[in-house]
């Protein structure tokens, strides 16, 4: 009797999870319009600061004035775009804060720091006699 109850409970959980997915999947055939175009608003901007303090946007070197212009353009297209900031470990904190300030002044307030995961040290296996 217990295995039957377990099976029934699993089925109930499956139906509870899948029922909302089936109801909300409304298929609509959208009309075509010549004036319609896809939005090319970026979801994020990759901002990199190398060890010399040079700033790159999407792997392109930019000077301060060009950086402001690019970030303002992104903020106008999508004010919710995130800045993914990658800074070299040797870059002074002040330089990173300067770049963050430029991004916030341009209108981009969502800033994420990109880091590497630390290497996991594994203990050597010990031999048992």
- 43-70 pLDDT, tens digit each: 888 888 888 888 888 888 888 888 889 9
Is residue 79 in some structural domain?
A: yes
- Angle at Cα 97 formed by Cα 62 and Cα 74, nearest 5°? 45
pLDDT 10s digits, 68-112? 899 999 888 888 888 888 888 888 889 889 999 999 998 888 888
- From the number of C-beta atoms within 10 Å of its C-beta (0-12, 13-18, 19+), residue 75 rates as buried
CB 21 within 8 A of CB 58: no
* Torsion sign (Cα): 61, 67, 71, 76: negative
Closest CA to 92 of 47, 52, 46: 52
Percent of the chain at pLDDT > 90 equals 4
- Cα torsion 112, 65, 106, 47 to 10°: value is -10
CB atoms within 10 A of CB 81: 20
Is residue 99 in some structural domain?
A: yes
Number of domains in the chain: 1
pLDDT confidence tier of residue 25, bands split at 50, 70 and 90: very low
pTM: 0.58
Q: Which residue carries 């939005």 as its tokens? A: 39
Is residue 30 in some structural domain?
A: no
CATH of the domain at 100: 3.30.420.270
Q: Which residues contact 59 (CB under 8 A, 6 or more apart)?
A: 46, 48
Is residue 17 in some structural domain?
A: no
Tokens describing residue 30 = 């959208």
What residues does 48 pair with on adjacent strands? 56, 86
Q: Which domain holds residue 80?
A: 44-113
Confidence check: pLDDT of 125 > 80: no
Q: Which residue carries 């004010």 as its tokens? A: 79
């Amino acid at each position: 009797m217990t295995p039957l109850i377990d099976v029934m409970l699993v089925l109930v959980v499956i139906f509870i999870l899948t029922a909302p997915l089936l109801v909300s999947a409304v298929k609509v055939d959208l009309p075509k319009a010549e004036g319609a175009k896809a939005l090319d608003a970026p979801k994020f901007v990759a901002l990199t600061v190398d060890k010399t303090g040079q700033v790159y946007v999407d792997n392109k070197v930019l000077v301060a004035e060009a950086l402001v212009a690019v970030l303002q353009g992104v903020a106008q297209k999508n004010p919710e775009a995130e800045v993914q900031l990658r800074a070299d470990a040797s870059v002074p904190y002040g330089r990173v804060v300067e770049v963050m300030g430029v991004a916030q002044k341009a209108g981009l307030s969502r800033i994420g720091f990109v880091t590497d995961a630390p290497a996991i040290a594994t203990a050597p296996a010990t031999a048992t006699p």
